Amino acid sequence: MSKPTIAKRGPFFEDVTPGTYWWCACGKSKKQPFCDGSHQGSDFSPVKIDVTESKTLVLCGCKHSANKPFCDGSHGSLK
């Protein structure tokens, strides 16, 4: 399986309102941390996030989290 591109070696803090969001799993989106379709033709698919209330999401920027789409600190162990 392909490895994702590291978009950022740390989390993205995103203030969101209720709605549906798509987190970029491939790391190639120009609209990080959200999907812009750059994964087309790859092994990756975006992850759907349904938000029911306004809040701040802490989203994985390195694309290696075991708790996708949320940051779990995996960026700290990347080489």
pLDDT by residue (tens digit) across 29-46?
A: 999 999 999 999 999 999
Q: What is the mean pLDDT of the chain?
A: 97
Q: Which residues, other chains included, contact 62 with Cβ-Cβ below 8 Å and sequence gap of 6+?
A: 6, 7, 8, 9, 10, 74, 75, 78
Segments in the chain forming alpha helices (H): none
Task: Please report which confidence band the pLDDT of residue 26 belongs to, taking 50, 70 and 90 as the band edges.
Answer: very high
Task: Please report which confidence band the pLDDT of residue 79 belongs to, taking 50, 70 and 90 as the band edges.
Answer: confident
Task: Please report which confidence band the pLDDT of residue 1 belongs to, taking 50, 70 and 90 as the band edges.
Answer: low
